[in-house]
Structure 1
Amino acid sequence: MKEEMVEYFPLSQMEDSEKQTSSHSSPIPIKSRKKGGLITMPFIIANEALENVASYGLLPNMTNYLMGEYRMGFTTTQNLLFFWSAATNFLPIVGAVVADSYLGRFLTIGLGSIFSFLGSAVLWLTAMIPKARPPACNQTGQACKSTTGPQYMLLVFSFLLLSIGAGGIRPCSLAFGANQFDKGGSDPNKQKVLESFFAWYYTSTIVSVLIALTGIVYLQDRLGWKIGFGIPAILMFLSALFFFLASPFYIKQKVRSNVFASFIQVIVIACKNRKLRYPSHNSDYH
């Protein structure tokens, strides 16, 4: 019988090779960062509360701003504010569909915060830049100049951005906060934590609207439009900043279904079945 050739290695070299092999085949698991829970609650509540202060604080005195600085008539002012309020109340429906079908709640809230900040910043610029408004009337008896097209479009553009921002934040904020406590397990304290979150959420909403209708309006009356519109712009910047700072801690659920596509499927199936015959027996209807 032929002797088999056996090659021997030092023990230390074998141990080193085993360590290298094990390091490549089964890497050491890294402890994942804890996501969701109470740590995300202040950021989500602050995002919604600051958005409420910034948006609701602009509406009460907007009639005085448009009629005084832009010299609009009462009817024109009310029509413009009506369309702004209508867009702000309608776009959350669109934002909810977009969040559930395409972007997800985190990205929708983030984009809504950016749009709200841009809208408040553009509105603040209308108060800061003199050429963004009609010039002041002189006392020589000449007629006052009316609002030009670009000035009016800049004002409407700021309102549109604010409405788009509200449409992204308001329909998703509460549901996104509830997602942070849905970890798939049967936690007995989950119900209490959710109740605490809802209580703080609605409390902050009421307090923020109260501050907006009193504090922001007081600043506008006492300190002028530059500061009165600058404070909401700063608050919206902080709202977006706080929301994105806590991004590593959020539970970001992926989009599972397309609500709009499902709605279209129902319409298509209903059209296909429109020629089906009804059952001949009356008992089939019950």
Structure 2
Amino acid sequence: MNMYFQLGQEAATELQQLGCNMDASLSVDRDAEMLDSGGNRGGWIIFLFIIGTFMCLTLAAGGWQSNLIVYLIQEYNVKSIDAAQVSNVVNGCTCLFPIIGAIIADSFSGCFPVIWISSFISFLGLVLLVLTATLDSLRPPSCDDGLSLCETPSESQFAVLYAGIALASIGLGGTRFTIATMGANQFDKPEEQGNFFNWFFFAMYTASVISFTAIVYIEDNVSWGLGYGLCALVNLIGLLIFLSGSNFYRRDKPQGSPFVNIVRVLVASIRKRNVLLSSRSEDYHYHNDGEAKMVPETQSLRCDFDFIKSILFSCL
């Protein structure tokens, strides 16, 4: 994790070498950015809440996602190539949804509501998967693997199955990395944030190993209903753990949409792509203090993109 902080520091150093002075509005004042009116919040007191929640959610996600292809083939008579395509779509969505969740958290609501709402959504999805695994009416008749005369699921059976998968995927995407951001924001010192991320990734891989082995073994050798039931149970436990620490969390204050400045950069680059350097102050970037900064627009664009790059490195 030290590598990510070094990358962020290198990006910030590069900005200074470019002569890019950040707006005063972009400077981070933790007292102003955090809603900390409840006394002592944040710090290591929230460590067990965050890590416990994340381990439970990772166990639940790994238990259903890693064995999805086998479930579709064995229980829904789906052809192997179709099952692989469904699994690929699910994996792609769970990689895309964290971006959407991060935008919602940073721009509108903060991390706390995104995490608990996403955890509840994933719990609903797992409940539907449990129902598909336990109720015969939600599955087609069993069929030996390899036979071409296997009965395909009905539209209603597919609807319940895909609804459960979709809800579980949305919930996973909303919590996967948003909870990491919220955990890091509980600490003021980079050293403490680094230690948190070390434990965070340790918890993630530990939970993944348990889900890929123990829960998958239960699904394959004992019962799909029991395996998915355990996933739903640990998901619910993780949600309760997270909500139980609500009085101790340091809350993020939404900062507005990050795409506004990106759009401004793109529009300015198109409008001024042929502008020659001049001595007129209106041809240069202005800061909030009203003083013209003699930085050409092309260099200003580079500064904005490098600032975005430093933020991305710091948030990985």
Cα deviation digits, residues 148-181 of structure 1 (max 9, x gap)? 1121122111111122112211221111111112
Cα deviation digits, residues 163-211 of structure 1 (max 9, x gap)? 21122112211111111123xxxxxxx4553333222211111110110
The one-letter code sitting in structure 2 at the alignment partner of 1:223 is V
Deviation at 1:256, TM superposition (A): 2.1
The 3 A distance-change label for structure 1 pair 269 and 212 is same
Greater than 6 Å deviation, 4+ residue runs? none
Alpha-carbon distance in structure 1 between the residues aligned to 2:252 and 2:277? 44
The 3 A distance-change label for structure 1 pair 234 and 272 is same
Deviation at 1:137, TM superposition (A): 5.0
Please identify, of 76-85 and 261-270, the stretch whose mean Cα deviation from structure 2 is larger: 261-270
Structure 2 unmatched ranges of 5 or more: 1-36, 279-295, 300-316
Give aligned-pair identity as a percent.
32
Alpha-carbon distance in structure 2 between the residues aligned to 1:142 and 1:80? 20
Residue pair 2:120, 2:239 contacting (<8 A) in 1 also = yes
Is structure 2 residue 176 aligned with structure 1 residue 156?
no
Alpha-carbon distance in structure 1 between the residues aligned to 2:234 and 2:186? 24
* Structure 2 residue aligned with 1:200: 199
* Structure 2 residue aligned with 1:71: 77
* Structure 1 residue aligned with 2:306: none
Q: Specify which of 32, 46, 51 is matched with residue 57 of structure 2.
A: 51
Alpha-carbon distance in structure 1 between the residues aligned to 2:64 and 2:241? 22
The one-letter code sitting in structure 1 at the alignment partner of 2:276 is Y
The 3 A distance-change label for structure 1 pair 143 and 196 is closer
Alpha-carbon distance in structure 2 between the residues aligned to 1:93 and 1:32? 30
Alpha-carbon distance in structure 2 between the residues aligned to 1:69 and 1:77? 11
Residue pair 2:108, 2:255 contacting (<8 A) in 1 also = no
Alpha-carbon distance in structure 1 between the residues aligned to 2:266 and 2:194? 38
Alpha-carbon distance in structure 1 between the residues aligned to 2:67 and 2:176? 22
Deviation at 1:48, TM superposition (A): 1.3
Is structure 2 residue 271 aligned with structure 1 residue 272?
yes
After the TM superposition, which residues 42-191 of structure 1 pair with which residues of structure 2 at under 5 Å, given as runs?
A: 42-136=48-142, 143-182=149-188, 190-191=189-190
Residue pair 1:127, 1:225 contacting (<8 A) in 2 also = yes
- SS of 1:247's equivalent in the other structure is coil
Please identify, of 253-262 and 68-77, the stretch whose mean Cα deviation from structure 2 is larger: 253-262
Deviation at 1:41, TM superposition (A): 0.8
- SS of 2:141's equivalent in the other structure is coil
TM-score, normalised relative to structure 1: 0.78
- SS of 1:112's equivalent in the other structure is helix
Alpha-carbon distance in structure 2 between the residues aligned to 1:137 and 1:192? 56
Deviation at 1:265, TM superposition (A): 2.5
Residue pair 1:101, 1:260 contacting (<8 A) in 2 also = no
Deviation at 1:273, TM superposition (A): 2.8
Cα deviation digits, residues 17-66 of structure 1 (max 9, x gap)? xxxxxxxxxxxxxx954211111111111111111111112233222211
Cα deviation digits, residues 94-124 of structure 1 (max 9, x gap)? 1111111112111111111111111111111
Deviation at 1:143, TM superposition (A): 4.7
The 3 A distance-change label for structure 1 pair 137 and 217 is closer
Residue pair 1:97, 1:260 contacting (<8 A) in 2 also = no
- In terms of Rg, which structure is larger? 1
Alpha-carbon distance in structure 2 between the residues aligned to 1:191 and 1:146? 55
* Structure 2 residue aligned with 1:4: none
Alpha-carbon distance in structure 1 between the residues aligned to 2:159 and 2:248? 40
Alpha-carbon distance in structure 2 between the residues aligned to 1:257 and 1:143? 55
Alpha-carbon distance in structure 2 between the residues aligned to 1:32 and 1:195? 25
